[in-house]
């Protein structure tokens, strides 16, 4: 499991997506199956640009078979089947501070 912070240094959306793409390639190359992406939730909880862009980009990556699946932090509940699969693959994710609770500022990617 890897954790990346694509909101660090306040990149624009295109650069944040570039960082994510590079991390996906790197993670695949080293055999990592799970990425926690910290993208923030925007100022005052209204939804930041990077978060909103990922709402469209992650489904695109899944459709292109670049990633297997994903869970947006706000959907990180006990009944989410993808979360259950991720937890089987990377059980240490259950003690990670970023995803211990529902958190709309993160997303989890399954490669």
The domain segmentation of the chain, as residue ranges, is 2-110
Q: What percent of the chain has pLDDT over 70?
A: 95
User: How far is residue 28's CA from residue 67's CA, in Å, rounded to a whole number?
Assistant: 10
Beta-carbon count within 10 A of 59 CB: 12
User: How far is residue 66's CA from residue 69's CA, in Å, rounded to a whole number?
Assistant: 9
pTM of the entire predicted model: 0.90
Domain 2-110: give its CATH architecture.
2-Layer Sandwich (3.30)
pLDDT in tens, 24-55: 999 999 999 999 999 988 665 455 899 999 99
Phi/psi of residue 2, each to 5°?
-120, 155
């Amino acid at each position: 499991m890897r954790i990346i912070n694509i909101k660090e240094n306040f990149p624009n959306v295109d650069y944040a997506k570039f960082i994510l793409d590079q991390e996906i390639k790197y993670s695949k190359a080293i055999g990592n199956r799970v990425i926690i992406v910290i993208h923030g939730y925007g100022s005052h909880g209204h939804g930041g640009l990077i978060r909103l862009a990922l709402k469209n980009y992650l489904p695109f990556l899944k459709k292109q078979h670049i990633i297997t699946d994903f869970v947006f932090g706000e959907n990180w509940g006990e009944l989410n089947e993808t979360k259950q699969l991720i937890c089987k693959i990377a059980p240490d994710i259950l003690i990670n501070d970023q995803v211990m609770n529902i958190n709309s500022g993160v997303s989890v990617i399954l490669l």
